[in-house]
């Protein structure tokens, strides 16, 4: 009993801090990557051959850039874009320093999943709205994004869970977080109990995210 | 109301040019129900899409209410489309919205004020007979009900024209009937002009005032429905008309009877329907008419009578009997036997 107490007393604050760091990194980078990825996904759809803003150049450039960024593993990207990170947030370390590469890493994936979700929307419904004289921006918002919501939510769930995984590597630039904690205590200091607790929290987090995602998707899906 | 003048549409694909429609001209009058019939691939779908410019014609002009709409700037095109409703084979409703919202959302997006929206949705739900389904999602509706929602959605825009792209083709016969009834009623009570495309002659028969027959991108025949039914001239038109006759005579029977005289189909229209022409035939010629099959086709306005008759007698007598029948306004046509 006293041993558990001692453990909690000495390690709980560190673990709590790591949880907060992870949540901060995940939520901030999620918001920004959606803000960047969503419009890019819509742009990918609209500039696609045969669509309203058909534009081969924009589509191809966007496509290539997204593929290039997506092919760089996060741990490499983290160091690869250090100058860019410095330029954007003025530092390359800590949570701030980790968030920029997290966004650069996640936004293209989110653009892709938006594109895929929007591609699934029945083109007939879009045509029906076109035939009613509805503006393109309204069709994007009220038809495409609306109908794609269940798929978007499920895709975003995967994206968030990936982000949680990526934050583990953010420890390398001193951003902290659960992954970093597990690595430092479990691997470097061989205090396995801290590692177990951390891993357990990560499992809970991922499970929670997935079930929230599933519930939300089911709520939006009506057929 | 709608006028297509020398409209052509060519698609340029990797495999080469596809001439989907070629030099089509037709006119749909105000308050009319106009049908375009053709087999799949005839170009009718492309044609109806040219009316509201979902497809831009490669050449030719489209006029709505006397105004050319072929090269309108985007903003004006939106306004024109708002006056042309359209319904589809696949219904094309929002899966994630209730019946009410499916009708209300397009109205919201075209700046109709909220009170007016509420009023219109209720009015048109009543017209299509779905007041009790307003809070239901399309996934819970049957095909016919979905099409009714789609019709209500189109009507709620208060269009002058309704375009129907194979609206009944995905429905079972009974539901097809009820949707056709609904279209007739809309046409009659709201005075909305309807242009529809279909591959079912039955649809033309039931509700169309006039019809155009399409094949390989061209209109091969057009006219009043009754005339097309009574005197189809193009072979494809004849096939469509024949598809409405229920009876199928066994080929062996027709062949056997043909030995002793021609087997013919007599079509009676208008006045000739009432006269006992066939009964008096024996008084004029040494020919006896044996009725093999018969029926009446109910068109929107008129009826057309149709009889399959075996005329037995000497060849010169049956020939003059046929000439007499034609003189009386009866259309006579040899019954063809399909080779098995």
Contact A127 B95 (CB under 8 A): no
Pairing of strands B263-269, B84-88: unpaired
Q: Round to whole Å and give the CA distance between B91 and B245.
A: 30
Task: Find the closest chain B residue to A123 by CA distance.
Answer: B92
pLDDT computed for residue B338 by the predictor: 56
Residue whose pair of structure tokens reads 């002058």 in the numeric block: B160
Who contacts A216 (Cβ-Cβ below 8 Å, separation ≥6)? A153
Domain boundary among B242, B261, B296: B242
Residue whose C-alpha is closest to residue B207's, from B244, B227, B182 = B182
Q: Is B43 on the interface with A (CB under 8 A)?
A: no
Identify whether B258 is part of a domain.
yes
Q: What angle do CA B121, B125, B128 make, to 5 degrees?
A: 145
Task: Find the closest chain A residue to B76 by CA distance.
Answer: A133
Q: Are residues B236 and B255 in the same domain?
A: no
Which helix or strand (DSSP H or E) is residue B304 part of? Answer: strand B303-312
Residue whose pair of structure tokens reads 């056709």 in the numeric block: B180
Quick check: B123 and B160 in contact, CB under 8 A? no
Cα Rg of chain A (Å, integer): 21
Q: Is A138 on the interface with B (CB under 8 A)?
A: yes
Average pLDDT over residues A121-133: 94
The alpha carbon of residue B112 is apart from the nearest alpha carbon of chain A, in Å, by: 13
Q: Are residues B205 and B266 in the same domain?
A: no
pLDDT computed for residue B272 by the predictor: 63
Nearest Cβ partner for A147 among B77, B86, B94? B94
Who contacts B124 (Cβ-Cβ below 8 Å, separation ≥6)? B103, B152, B153, B155, B156
Residues of B in contact with A138 (CB under 8 A): 109
Task: Find the closest chain A residue to B92 by CA distance.
Answer: A125
Nearest Cβ partner for A134 among B90, B106, B139? B106
Residue whose pair of structure tokens reads 């901060």 in the numeric block: A24
Q: Round to whole Å and give the CA distance between A100 and A86.
A: 9
Who contacts B258 (Cβ-Cβ below 8 Å, separation ≥6)? none
Who contacts B51 (Cβ-Cβ below 8 Å, separation ≥6)? B2, B4, B62, B64, B84, B161, B163, B195
Q: Is A131 on the interface with B (CB under 8 A)?
A: yes
Question: Which CATH number is correct for A2-220, 3.30.230.10, 2.60.40.10, 3.40.50.300, 1.10.3720.10?
Answer: 1.10.3720.10
pLDDT computed for residue B252 by the predictor: 84
pLDDT computed for residue B99 by the predictor: 97
Q: Is A120 on the interface with B (CB under 8 A)?
A: no
Number of domains chain B contains:
2
β-strand partners of B264: B309, B334
Q: Is B105 on the interface with A (CB under 8 A)?
A: yes
Q: Is A127 on the interface with B (CB under 8 A)?
A: yes
Q: Round to whole Å and give the CA distance between A14 and A34.
A: 30
Q: How confident is the model at residue B271 (pLDDT cuts 50, 70, 90)?
A: low
Q: Are residues B186 and B323 in the same domain?
A: no
β-strand partners of B268: B305
Nearest Cβ partner for A134 among B109, B138, B139? B109
How is chain A split into domains, by residue range?
A: 2-220
pLDDT at position B301 over 90: no
Q: Is A129 on the interface with B (CB under 8 A)?
A: yes
Residues of A in contact with B94 (CB under 8 A): 125, 143, 146-147
Q: What angle do CA B281, B287, B290 make, to 5 degrees?
A: 80
User: Across A84-98, A165-179, B258-272, which has the greatest mean pLDDT?
Assistant: A84-98
Q: Are residues B79 and B157 in the same domain?
A: yes
Q: Are residues B163 and B83 in the same domain?
A: yes
Q: How confident is the model at residue A91 (pLDDT cuts 50, 70, 90)?
A: confident
**In the sheet that B2-13 helps form, which strands lie side by side, from edge to edge?**
B16-28, B2-13, B59-64, B67-68
Pairing of strands B161-165, B193-198: parallel
Give the CATH number of the domain where residue B270 resides: 3.30.70.260
The alpha carbon of residue B231 is apart from the nearest alpha carbon of chain A, in Å, by: 36
Residue whose C-alpha is closest to residue B122's, from B144, B76, B155 = B155
Domain boundary among B242, B266, B298: B242
Q: Are residues B231 and B189 in the same domain?
A: yes
Identify whether B340 is part of a domain.
no
Greater model confidence, B258 or A57: A57
Who contacts B2 (Cβ-Cβ below 8 Å, separation ≥6)? B27, B28, B34, B51, B62, B63, B64, B161, B193, B195
Region label for A155, one of left (φ > 0), alpha (ψ between -120 and 50) or beta (otherwise): alpha
Contact B82 A135 (CB under 8 A): no
For the record, the structure tokens of B267 come out as 């079509």
Residue whose pair of structure tokens reads 């949880």 in the numeric block: A19
- pLDDT tens track for A157-207: 999 999 998 988 887 788 888 888 888 888 788 888 888 888 899 999 999
Identify whether B339 is part of a domain.
no
Which helix or strand (DSSP H or E) is residue B210 part of? Answer: strand B210-215
- pLDDT tens track for A1-20: 678 888 878 888 888 999 99
Q: Chain B window 69-98: which residues touch A at a Cβ cutoff of 8 Å?
A: 77-82, 84-86, 88, 90, 92-97
Q: Are residues B29 and B167 in the same domain?
A: yes
B284: helix, coil or strand? Answer: helix
Quick check: A62 and A108 in contact, CB under 8 A? no
Contact B52 A149 (CB under 8 A): no
Of A197-201, B18-22, B43-47, B107-111, the poorest mean pLDDT is in A197-201
Identify whether B18 is part of a domain.
yes
Q: Are residues B235 and B265 in the same domain?
A: no
Greater model confidence, B300 or B104: B104
pLDDT computed for residue A42 by the predictor: 95
What distances in angstroms separate CA A175 from CA A17, A196, B98, B332, one per listed residue? Answer: 11, 21, 47, 92
Region label for B73, one of left (φ > 0), alpha (ψ between -120 and 50) or beta (otherwise): beta
Domain boundary among B194, B219, B242: B242
Instruction: Write down the mean pLDDT value for chain A.
Output: 91
Quick check: B207 and B33 in contact, CB under 8 A? yes
Who contacts B9 (Cβ-Cβ below 8 Å, separation ≥6)? B19, B20, B21, B43, B46, B47, B50, B55, B56, B57, B58
Average pLDDT over residues B312-326: 88
pLDDT computed for residue A1 by the predictor: 60
**Number of residue pairs across A and B with CB atoms under 8 Å?**
72
Q: Are residues B232 and B282 in the same domain?
A: no
Q: Are residues B150 and B269 in the same domain?
A: no
Q: Are residues B108 and B185 in the same domain?
A: yes
pLDDT at position A223 over 90: no
Quick check: B154 and B122 in contact, CB under 8 A? no
pLDDT computed for residue B273 by the predictor: 63
- pLDDT tens track for B172-213: 999 999 999 999 999 999 999 999 999 999 999 999 999 999
Largest interatomic CA distance in chain B = 78
By the 10 Å C-beta count (0-12 exposed, 13-18 middle, 19+ buried), A164 is classed as buried
pLDDT computed for residue A12 by the predictor: 84
Contact B157 A134 (CB under 8 A): no
Residue whose pair of structure tokens reads 């039914």 in the numeric block: B229
For the record, the structure tokens of B248 come out as 């199928």
Nearest Cβ partner for A146 among B77, B78, B96? B96
Cα Rg of chain B (Å, integer): 24
pLDDT computed for residue B267 by the predictor: 87
Nearest Cβ partner for B94 among A125, A150, A221? A125
User: Across A8-12, A46-50, B97-101, B305-309, which has the greatest mean pLDDT?
Assistant: B97-101
Print the domain residue range for B288. 251-334
By the 10 Å C-beta count (0-12 exposed, 13-18 middle, 19+ buried), B195 is classed as buried
Q: Is A223 on the interface with B (CB under 8 A)?
A: yes
Nearest Cβ partner for A133 among B79, B90, B95? B79
Q: Round to whole Å and give the CA distance between A90 and B49.
A: 56
Instruction: Give the dihedral sign, CA B95/B101/B102/B106.
Output: negative
């Amino acid at each position: 009993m006293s041993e558990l107490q001692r453990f909690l007393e000495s390690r709980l604050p560190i673990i709590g801090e790591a949880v907060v760091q992870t949540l901060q990194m995940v939520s901030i980078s999620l918001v920004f990557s959606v803000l960047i990825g969503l419009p890019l996904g819509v742009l990918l759809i609209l500039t696609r051959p045969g669509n309203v803003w058909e534009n081969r150049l924009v589509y191809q450039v966007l496509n290539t850039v997204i593929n290039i960024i997506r092919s760089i593993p996060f741990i490499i990207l983290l160091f690869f874009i250090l100058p860019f990170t410095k330029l954007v947030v003025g530092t390359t370390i800590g949570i701030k320093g980790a968030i920029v590469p997290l966004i650069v890493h996640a936004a293209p994936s989110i653009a892709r999943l938006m594109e895929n979700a929007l591609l699934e929307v029945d083109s007939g419904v879009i045509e029906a709205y076109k035939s009613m004289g509805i503006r393109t921006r309204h069709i994007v918002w009220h038809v495409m994004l609306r109908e794609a919501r269940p798929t978007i939510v499920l895709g975003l769930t995967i994206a968030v869970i990936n982000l949680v995984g990526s934050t583990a590597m953010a420890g390398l630039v001193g951003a902290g977080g659960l992954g970093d904690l597990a690595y430092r205590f479990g691997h470097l200091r061989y205090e396995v109990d801290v590692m177990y607790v951390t891993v357990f929290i990560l499992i809970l987090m991922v499970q929670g995210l997935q079930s929230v995602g599933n519930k939300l998707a089911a709520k939006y899906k009506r057929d | 109301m709608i006028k297509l003048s020398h409209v052509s549409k060519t698609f340029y694909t990797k495999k080469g040019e596809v001439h989907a429609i070629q030099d089509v001209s037709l006119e749909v009058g105000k308050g009319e129900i106009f049908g375009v019939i053709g087999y799949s691939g005839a170009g009718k779908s492309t044609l109806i899409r040219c009316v509201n410019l979902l497809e831009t014609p490669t050449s030719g002009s489209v006029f709505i209410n006397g105004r050319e709409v072929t090269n309108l700037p985007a903003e004006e095109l939106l306004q024109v489309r708002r006056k042309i409703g359209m319904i589809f084979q696949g219904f094309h409703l929002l899966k994630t919205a209730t019946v009410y919202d499916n009708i209300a959302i397009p109205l919201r997006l075209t700046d109709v004020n909220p009170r007016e929206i509420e009023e219109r949705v209720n009015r048109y739900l009543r017209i299509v007979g779905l007041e009790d389904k307003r809070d239901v999602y399309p996934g819970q509706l049957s095909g016919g009900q979905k099409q009714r929602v789609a019709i209500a959605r189109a009507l709620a825009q208060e269009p002058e024209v309704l375009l129907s792209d194979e609206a009944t083709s995905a429905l079972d016969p009974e539901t097809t009937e009820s949707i056709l009834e609904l279209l007739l009623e809309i046409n009659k009570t709201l005075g909305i002009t309807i242009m529809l495309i279909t591959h079912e002659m039955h649809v033309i028969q039931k509700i169309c005032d006039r019809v155009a027959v399409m094949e390989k991108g061209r209109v091969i025949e057009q006219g009043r429905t009754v005339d097309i039914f009574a005197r189809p001239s193009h072979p494809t038109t004849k096939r469509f008309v024949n598809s409405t006759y229920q009876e199928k005579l066994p080929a062996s029977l027709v062949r056997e009877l043909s030995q002793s005289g021609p087997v013919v189909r007599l079509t009676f229209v208008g006045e000739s329907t009432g006269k006992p022409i066939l009964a008096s035939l024996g008084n004029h010629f040494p020919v006896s008419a044996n009725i093999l099959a018969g029926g009446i086709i109910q068109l929107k306005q008129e009826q057309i009578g149709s009889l399959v008759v075996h005329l037995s007698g000497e060849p010169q007598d049956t020939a003059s009997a046929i000439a007499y029948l034609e003189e009386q306004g009866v259309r006579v046509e040899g019954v063809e036997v399909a080779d098995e």
